[in-house]
Amino acid sequence: MIPLLLIVVPFVAGIIAFFIKAGNAVKGWSLVAAIASLAVALAGVYSKGAVNYNATWLPTLGSSFSLTLDGMSKMLALLTAIAFPLVFAATWKNEYAKPNSFYGLMLLMQAGLTGVFLASDLLLFYFFWELALIPAYFLCSKWGGEKRIQVTFKFFIYTFIGSLLMLVGILYLYFHTAGSSFALQDIYNVKLAAGPQNFVFWLFFIAFAIKMPIFPFHTWQPDTYEQSPTAVTMILSGVMVKMGIFAVIRWLVPVFPEAVGKFDNLIIILSVIGMLYASLIAIRQDDVKRLVAYSSIAHIGLMCAAIFADQKVGLQGVMVQMFNHGVNVIGLWIVADAIEQQLGTRKFSELGGLAQKAPGLAILLVIMALANVALPLTNAFVGEFLMFNGLFRYNAWMAAIAGISIILAAVYTLNMVQRIFYGNTTPLTENARDADGNVKLVLAILTVVILVFGVYPEPILKLTNDTVEIVLAKLK
């Protein structure tokens, strides 16, 4: 029942939230529901082996309501369950028009995201993929910034095209299974000739590449992150981008091993180009949100390259980094939101000297920033070291070029810290105050996670080792 509860709890709570009119009441309800989901996720993580749930859904189509909580899905379900209560707590004082609709959609998005990570039926996976995206459209278009309509339309076009391509690929695989089935193992057993396999591979890969996103499918992301409410942006960058990485590992690589071997070099080149391109653009940004958005593109590009490098050590790094990137980027967004809510700006050119007025927030941002550049003893170091190791084993020159992004990340991240918190105060920051207690508490929790997994990443490596072995076995 644990896999089902992980979806049902936020889904039912989200439906109920629509009928709660009082702002603080719906905030409290959503936080309690998110904490309940976290408790279920922790129970799932500590359960032995894979936990399955199967129920009749669409038997005439060969599709069942089949959920599997294995190592990778346990890790990502835990990340999702951690993210939502922390986001709700950190943004507690943020006010939204029609808060019941806002929090209801947020909880429905949580249900969809969790379903994506648990589905072991391809049609069910597609259902949850859309269930996660639809609330995101409404959240961005209703509560976003001044340019939200055109930005959300662009977001919709990109993801709609990706979803349409994936649906075509799903149907093609369905008609080539032994008994017209969407079950994971039946999909894995499909054997396609080289030509059809290459074609269907790209149908799926483009859909997943848009969602990650990687170069050149990334252009929707910075605008969407900038215009979305920061609470939504935290989930988009901390959790939703993992849908694409997860889908590549679960549904792409094991199903199309020959196509992966044929196109791996091209995809790694695109990923590395994206890493350098996004890092260079991040250096030129004057907006905190856009800088973190481009930083995320660079980090996701490394994860994608490490997957297609087809090395055990690199894939282990991806597993670690999916979790750790979510933690770190949410921390950066919380700092950005705390500054914007108090001062009304995200521009570096209007900030400065905040460490004098907000020393607690400054210390916590420095920790988040050091994790973002993968400093040793922070959680990101382990994942990046493993991924670069895997990429080096694949191609030393490719790893060396990708390694330039490490230097660029240090430049734009430390420049962000310097321009926001150090130097002289500006007229805008002269009367600034330190962050609220709830913000500091959430950042302190994230700091503990950063340091613990920086020193001892073994729990994630052990949890996801079986998934790594299965994926690599499919490629042989």
Domain-located, residue 242: no
∠ CA 102-107-112, rounded to 5°: 125
Q: How many domains does the chain have?
A: 1
- What are the two backbone dihedrals, phi and then psi, of residue 422, each rounded to the nearest 5 degrees? -115, 180
What pLDDT is attached to residue 113?
A: 93
Domain-located, residue 323: yes
pLDDT range class, residue 46, cuts 50, 70, 90: confident
**8 A C-beta contact, residue 2 and residue 42:** no
Domain-located, residue 326: yes
Calculate mean pLDDT across residues 159-167: 90
Domain-located, residue 81: no
Whether the pLDDT of residue 34 is over 90: the answer is yes
What percentage of residues in the chain have a pLDDT greater than 70?
Answer: 99
Domain-located, residue 27: no
What pLDDT is attached to residue 463?
A: 86
Calculate mean pLDDT across residues 230-251: 89
Tokens 């989200």 label which residue?
Answer: 14
Looking at the DSSP bridge assignments, the partners of residue 319 are none
Tokens 């962000």 label which residue?
Answer: 416
DSSP code for 180: S
pLDDT range class, residue 359, cuts 50, 70, 90: confident
CA distance 471 to 476: 9
How does pLDDT run across 268-287, given as a tens digit for each residue? 999 999 999 999 998 988 88
**8 A C-beta contact, residue 327 and residue 372:** no
Domain-located, residue 347: yes
CA distance 103 to 15: 10
For residue 53, give the 3-state DSSP assignment.
Answer: strand
Whether the pLDDT of residue 476 is over 80: the answer is no
Domain interval for residue 361? 262-476
What pLDDT is attached to residue 11?
A: 94
pTM for the model:
0.92
What pLDDT is attached to residue 475?
A: 67
